[in-house]
Amino acid sequence: MKILSISFLIFMISNVNILPQSSFGLNGYSGNHSSFSSPLYNFESNVSDYSQIKDWGFSAIYGMEFANSTNSNLYGISISKTINNHNISVRYTPGYQKEFSFKTGETIILQDSTSQSLTSGFIYKELFGFGYSYKFSDDFSAGFSFRYFNQEFNREAVTVIFNDNPYLVSESTGEKINFWKGDLGINYFLNERLNFALASINLLNFGQKAENSEFEQYELKKDMGGMFGLSYHPVDETALNFVYETTNAFQLGVNGYLKNFSLGFTLFHDKYQSPSIAGIIPSIGFKSDLFEVMLSGIKYFSNRKVEHGVSGFVENGLSNIINNPYSYDKILLTVSFNLNTITEKFVEFVDVKINKDIYPTFKDNYIDYPFAYGTVVNLTDDFINVKPLSRIEGINEENIQSPGSSIAPHDTAEVPFYLIIPEKYHSDKTALSYADFYLVTTNEQPDDEFQKAILVNSSNSWDGRVSNLHYFIRKDLDFSMMNAKEILSKNKPTLDTLTYGLEDFYKANILFNSFIKNLVYTSDPRATGEYVQFPRETLELKGGDCDDLSVFYSSLLESVGIQTALVNYKTDGTIRHVSVLFNTKLSPEFARLITNNDSKYFVRENLDGKDEIWLPVETTSLTDFETAWKIGSEKFNKDAVNNLGIATGKVEIIDIY
Amino acid sequence: MLMSLIKLSVNYNFNKQMKKLIRYLVILSSVLILLSCDKPAPTELVDDSTVEYEVLSKDVNDEYYSNGGDTTGVTQDLKDFPNLISLSGVKETDINGTVHEYSFGQTIVFDRTKPVYDSNRRLLAYQTVTPGVIRIENIRAIEVPFHIRYRDNGVLIDTTLGSKYILFSRLHPLFQYRHNARLNFRLTFLNNDFVNFDIKTPKEITGNVEILGKRADGNLRAKLNWNKENSRDVEIIISGRLISDRKTVMPLYRIKTNDNGKLIIPAKLINQIPSDRFDRLVFTFIRRLEETHNNGNNDLRVSSQSIHSITVNLP
């Protein structure tokens, strides 16, 4: 089954069936297998055998015939198109013709006593055909075909010129007869091993009939009948095929498939031909992604270069243009091209779930956590490695490949999609965009794709989670550092004279008084509180709310190496409040260097296990550092310590790094 | 988890791929078309049946036909004038469907040293001789004059070549032609030397004629059937009875075909027979066994035939 499946999936060239005179095909059954077939192969098998062509298919058969002289010619070209469950195919068959030339057996004695033998010439052609099939389900399909035939009869006949001296002359008469044949058929897959086909033979016949009674007996036979086909796969790489026609013909075929090669033999019986098994059709094929080539032959077991009598021809007529007692051995080369742009699916999406809206400033978040999950089903009988790709319109110019997943046969799995937001990306507006998701397996092209709307927030948008404010703090760190260092350099004399260990305290003091003190508190312009200014914007706008001011102050401190944390007060009713906590790096025993009030600092243990003094600063006080520290301390003590805010989770301390 | 994601440039450039495909297609199609000027080989069928048509009446105004003929309406090909021994079992079905049967035998011996010419020095025949007594089935044949009629410079001339031997059942009731049998022939020369041998006769032929179609439609044709004897040919003579005297039957066509029991005489032959000159057609089926013994100027042709003549009206 593995080989079958791979073949089936790799090659989208397949079968389009238009029934000719009977089920005989130039490629035998080798052309009758879904994994190794072309639009031309199966015109002869079953009209309803739904094409596996996913888009466009093109085939051509070129052959050489070993008559008394060797002839070579194009037997047919065909093109087919599949649209959803509909398949349409058209073929032109210049090589589907049989010409007879013979002496009628009539001789006339001319005026000069010489004799002249009369001759005839008949040509039978199947010129073109078209077919349609519809796939009702994976198991069942039905269709019809119409084919256009032309017959041309020319005959020399004796006539007399009856004057005073009568004499005989030959006179040519001819007639061209065009007609259509139409047939119906169904195809049913009982299971993976067994499928059946049923089709009519010569169900509909309409068009011209011979006006000259002489030619009636030579018209192509149109015996109405039926065809029953059975294909059985005893093992994955082998197919046994049998077709029986009520018009007393059958075919028996065996085909083997191995990787890109196929080998087949088809024996056929026809009541009009002898011996009982009239011949064999061996074939060998090779396929690649772009094309498929099959070399086949038709070898008749009787000598085809013997003379044939007219009486036999008159008695049995002609039922099949390409396979009849007068057909010669052939070698045929069939080339098929896959013009498909639609890839055969190994996997497909069941659904895609967007985890969260996109906040462009949180870009690192999307590297660690998927922004979406695809529910993907493996359609094959084998484990499949799936490469998920995604792209958000307006953010990504290229597809982003997320880590691959292996999915068990016919299993369904959640496949994560990650996102990379380019450094330079910035958006002032929140907008609805689209995310395209692709699943890639062994094909160059995606097996399946899915598109879903997604909200892409502006760069200033914030999801309200204080833990995510650090993205805003980091964003303008260079800007903050530049400004902070400029101010601190101006205060170098002061800083140089400080007692060892007080540098961070005084730096925080200077930076607060230099920047924060001069700002104005303003509410979010978007009213929701989910809009956060970058430090640069806060400085330029000369104000902001608690988020903006805390982000700005934290950014300034972090830019000069002062460790900060944000304090998230969740107790202020519907309004969230954020303030800053920074690390003085002073140990508690040196707290008296900055304050004698124990309630104005907070001790936290660093990674080395040593206690350090952290100071809460209320950035919205917009006064001086001392006041902001005082207010911050009071609020921190009240909400975080006295009211057990930290213990209950109502106050949260979030380290920036 | 910080993953190292790979940016994959998946450029689905279908156009590029399609261009590549189309290029292959164009090249392949061109090659195929160039190579495909030929067509599948025709099959030449060999007809195992033969039909040979010949016009017998070279001049419909001339009641003499150089191909030879006799009162039975049967033409005997005297081309090259071999010596002839001919035995016939004849059935005639008249216009009323009544069948008349008789037997006829004749022997003609030419003297090659005595040619007969017309005034234009065209060889008409040779004078005949009677070298002795001829008996067929021990019944003596009688000697009768052998007349021929020919047109010489527009004038009908009767002449006698000499004598020939005949046996006619209506004159010699004991003489009865037997089909599929052997009839004894004996020639006793004047010096009592003799030649004695048996002549094999064919199976009896019985035919049927059906006129199909209409003259006005141009599809007047004759469907002939007879009891087939596949191994040999049959000869069918189509004659017309002249309206002018309602007696003379003029052979028009000779058709040789396989003895397969059926033949349709094409409309082109029947429809063309002028109904203002002929009122009836006589279809004469002849199954003949014939041997020719080459002997220089004294070739001998021994012919034995079963004959069935059927008269029908010419529409």
According to DSSP, residue B33 is labeled H
Q: Write out residues 567-606 of A within 8 Å (CB-CB) of B.
A: none
> Touching check for B217 and chain A: CB below 8 Å?
no
What CATH number labels A347-456? 2.60.40.10
> Touching check for A308 and chain B: CB below 8 Å?
yes
B257 to chain A, closest Cα gap in Å: 9
Q: Write out residues 161-180 of A within 8 Å (CB-CB) of B.
A: 161-162, 164-168, 171
Contacts of B270 in chain A (CB under 8 A): none
A251 to chain B, closest Cα gap in Å: 24
> Touching check for B124 and chain A: CB below 8 Å?
no
A13 to chain B, closest Cα gap in Å: 14
Residue of A nearest to B39 (CA): A73
Phi and psi, residue B261, nearest 5°: 90, -5
The alpha carbon of A66 is separated from its chain's Cα centroid by a whole number of angstroms, namely 45
State residue A528's pLDDT score.
53
Cross-chain residue pair B45–A310, CB shorter than 8 Å: yes
Q: What is the mean pLDDT of residues A63-74?
A: 85
pLDDT band at A16 (very low <50, low <70, confident <90, very high): very low
The two structure tokens encoding residue A637: 């003590």
Report ipTM for this prediction.
0.74
The alpha carbon of A261 is separated from its chain's Cα centroid by a whole number of angstroms, namely 25
Residue type, A113: S
Cross-chain residue pair A102–B46, CB shorter than 8 Å: yes
pLDDT band at A22 (very low <50, low <70, confident <90, very high): low
Cross-chain residue pair B43–A60, CB shorter than 8 Å: no
User: pLDDT tens, B12-21?
Assistant: 444 556 667 7
A103, A398, A444 member nearest B47 (Cβ): A103
CB B73 within 8 A of CB B284: yes
A171, A291, A445 member nearest B12 (Cβ): A445
According to DSSP, residue A607 is labeled T
User: pLDDT tens, A315-337?
Assistant: 888 888 988 999 999 998 888 77
Going A592 to A597 to A599 to A600, the CA torsion angle's sign is negative
Beta strands A308-309 and B43-46, pairing class: parallel
In A42-95, alpha helices (H)? none
State residue A162's pLDDT score.
79
How is A283-320 classified by DSSP, letter by letter? EEEEE-SSEEEEEEEEEESS-TTS-EEHHHHHHH--S-
User: Is the predicted pLDDT of residue A139 greater than 90, yes or no?
Assistant: no
Exposed / middle / buried, residue A113 (Cβ in 10 Å: 0-12, 13-18, 19+): exposed
Cβ burial A546-572 (10 Å sphere, 16+ → b, else e): bbbbbbbbbbbbbbbebbbbbbbbeee
The alpha carbon of A227 is separated from its chain's Cα centroid by a whole number of angstroms, namely 36
Cross-chain residue pair A166–B57, CB shorter than 8 Å: yes
Q: Write out residues 78-117 of A within 8 Å (CB-CB) of B.
A: 94-95, 97-109, 115
Cα distance between residue A179 and residue B216, in whole Å: 31
The alpha carbon of A98 is separated from its chain's Cα centroid by a whole number of angstroms, namely 44
A103, A165, A403 member nearest B3 (Cβ): A403
- The set of residues, in sequence order, having a beta carbon less than 8 Å from that of A116 and lying 6+ positions away, is A107, A108, A110, A170
Contacts of B33 in chain A (CB under 8 A): 74
Exposed / middle / buried, residue A323 (Cβ in 10 Å: 0-12, 13-18, 19+): buried
CB A415 within 8 A of CB B36: no
Cα distance between residue A629 and residue A632, in whole Å: 5
Helix, strand, or coil (residue A516): helix
pLDDT band at A575 (very low <50, low <70, confident <90, very high): low
- The set of residues, in sequence order, having a beta carbon less than 8 Å from that of B108 and lying 6+ positions away, is B83, B84, B128, B146, B164, B165
For tokens 């998230």, what's the residue? A568
Cross-chain residue pair B45–A74, CB shorter than 8 Å: no
Helix, strand, or coil (residue A416): strand
Of the listed ranges A97-101, A109-113, A321-325, A355-359, the one predicted with least confidence: A109-113
Angle value at C-alpha B47, between B44 and B48, nearest 5 degrees: 135
A343 to chain B, closest Cα gap in Å: 12
Q: What is the mean pLDDT of residues A624-639?
A: 91
State residue B68's pLDDT score.
36
> Touching check for B15 and chain A: CB below 8 Å?
no
Contacts of B40 in chain A (CB under 8 A): 65, 67, 71, 73, 95, 97-99
B28, B39, B273 member nearest A335 (Cβ): B28
Report how many Cβ contacts below 8 Å link chain A to chain B. Answer: 195
Exposed / middle / buried, residue A302 (Cβ in 10 Å: 0-12, 13-18, 19+): exposed
State residue A114's pLDDT score.
85
**Is the bond into A166 cis (omega within 30 degrees of 0)?**
no
Report the candidate in A541, A206, A77 with the shortest Cα–Cα distance to residue B25: A77
H/E/C letters for each residue in A439-500? EECCCCCCCEEEEEEEEECCCCECCCCHHHCHHHHHHCHHHHHHHHHHHHHHCHHHHHCCCC
How is A185-225 classified by DSSP, letter by letter? EEEEESSSSEEEEEEEES-EEEE---SSHHHHTTSPP---E
Cross-chain residue pair B43–A98, CB shorter than 8 Å: yes
Contacts of B38 in chain A (CB under 8 A): 71-73
Outline where DSSP puts E strands in A32-139. Answer: 56-66, 70-83, 86-92, 97-109, 115-135
In a 13 Å sphere around the CA of B297, the CA atoms on its Cβ side amount to: 7
State residue B97's pLDDT score.
92
> Touching check for A74 and chain B: CB below 8 Å?
yes
Residue of B nearest to A328 (CA): B41
Angle value at C-alpha A478, between A473 and A484, nearest 5 degrees: 85
User: Is the predicted pLDDT of residue A592 greater than 50, yes or no?
Assistant: yes
Contacts of A161 in chain B (CB under 8 A): 272
Cα distance between residue A319 and residue B273, in whole Å: 39
β-sheet with B207-212: strand ranges across: B207-212, B221-226, B262-265
| Cβ atoms within 10 Å of A335's Cβ, excluding its own | 20
B46, B48, B266 member nearest A157 (Cβ): B266
A71, A338, A401 member nearest B7 (Cβ): A401
Cβ burial B272-309 (10 Å sphere, 16+ → b, else e): bbeeebbebbbbbbbbbbeeeeeeeeebbbbbbbbbbb
Cα distance between residue A355 and residue A358, in whole Å: 9
Exposed / middle / buried, residue A258 (Cβ in 10 Å: 0-12, 13-18, 19+): exposed
Of the listed ranges A308-317, A378-387, A402-411, the one predicted with least confidence: A308-317
State residue A193's pLDDT score.
86
Contacts of A172 in chain B (CB under 8 A): none
Q: Write out residues 440-459 of A within 8 Å (CB-CB) of B.
A: 440, 444-446
pLDDT band at A464 (very low <50, low <70, confident <90, very high): confident
pLDDT band at A341 (very low <50, low <70, confident <90, very high): low
Residue of A nearest to B221 (CA): A159
Predicted model pTM:
0.59
Q: At what angle do helices A503-514 and A546-559 cross, to 10 degrees?
A: 140
Contacts of A60 in chain B (CB under 8 A): 28-29, 32
Q: Write out residues 31-50 of B within 8 Å (CB-CB) of A.
A: 32-33, 35-50
Interface test with A, best of B14, B18, B53 (most A CBs within 10 A): B53
> Touching check for B70 and chain A: CB below 8 Å?
no
Phi and psi, residue A286, nearest 5°: -135, 145
Cross-chain residue pair B2–A166, CB shorter than 8 Å: no
Contacts of B3 in chain A (CB under 8 A): 367-368, 403, 418
State residue A148's pLDDT score.
94
Q: Write out residues 312-371 of A within 8 Å (CB-CB) of B.
A: 313, 326, 328, 335, 337-339, 341, 367-368
Cα distance between residue A488 and residue A503, in whole Å: 11
User: Is the predicted pLDDT of residue A349 greater than 90, yes or no?
Assistant: yes
CATH fold group of domain A2-338? Porin (2.40.160)
User: Is the predicted pLDDT of residue A576 greater than 80, yes or no?
Assistant: no
Cross-chain residue pair B272–A94, CB shorter than 8 Å: no
Cross-chain residue pair A62–B12, CB shorter than 8 Å: no
State residue A352's pLDDT score.
94
A313 to chain B, closest Cα gap in Å: 8
The two structure tokens encoding residue A464: 């309200």
The two structure tokens encoding residue A120: 């005839």
| Cβ atoms within 10 Å of A203's Cβ, excluding its own | 18
Report the candidate in A453, A421, A422 with the shortest Cα–Cα distance to residue A436: A453
**Positions of chain B with pLDDT under 50:** 1-14, 60-75, 77
Using CA atoms, how far residue A563 sits from A474, A554, A581, A604, A613, in Å, is 13, 8, 9, 12, 11
User: Is the predicted pLDDT of residue A123 greater than 90, yes or no?
Assistant: yes
State residue B72's pLDDT score.
42
CATH fold group of domain A466-655? C8orf32 fold (3.10.620)
Strand-pair partners of A79: A58, A90
Strand-pair partners of B84: B108, B301
CB A164 within 8 A of CB A187: no
User: Is the predicted pLDDT of residue A362 greater than 50, yes or no?
Assistant: yes
User: Is the predicted pLDDT of residue A53 greater than 80, yes or no?
Assistant: no
β-sheet with A602-605: strand ranges across: A602-605, A611-617, A577-583, A564-569, A651-655
User: pLDDT tens, A174-206?
Assistant: 999 999 998 888 888 888 788 888 888 888 999
Angle value at C-alpha B153, between B151 and B156, nearest 5 degrees: 30
Report the candidate in A265, A267, A248, A246 with the shortest Cα–Cα distance to residue A256: A265
> Touching check for B18 and chain A: CB below 8 Å?
yes
Cα distance between residue A201 and residue A221, in whole Å: 11
Contacts of B52 in chain A (CB under 8 A): 106-109, 115
Cα distance between residue B182 and residue B175, in whole Å: 14
What is the domain partition of chain A in residue ranges? Answer: 2-338, 347-456, 466-655
Greatest mean pLDDT among A65-74, A239-248, B190-199 lies in B190-199
pLDDT band at A363 (very low <50, low <70, confident <90, very high): confident
> Touching check for B65 and chain A: CB below 8 Å?
no
Residues B171, B173, B175, B176: what is their CA dihedral angle, to the nearest 10 degrees? 120
Interface test with B, best of A93, A96, A159 (most B CBs within 10 A): A159
User: pLDDT tens, A216-235?
Assistant: 888 998 888 888 888 888 88
Helix, strand, or coil (residue A653): strand
Cα distance between residue A434 and residue A222, in whole Å: 59
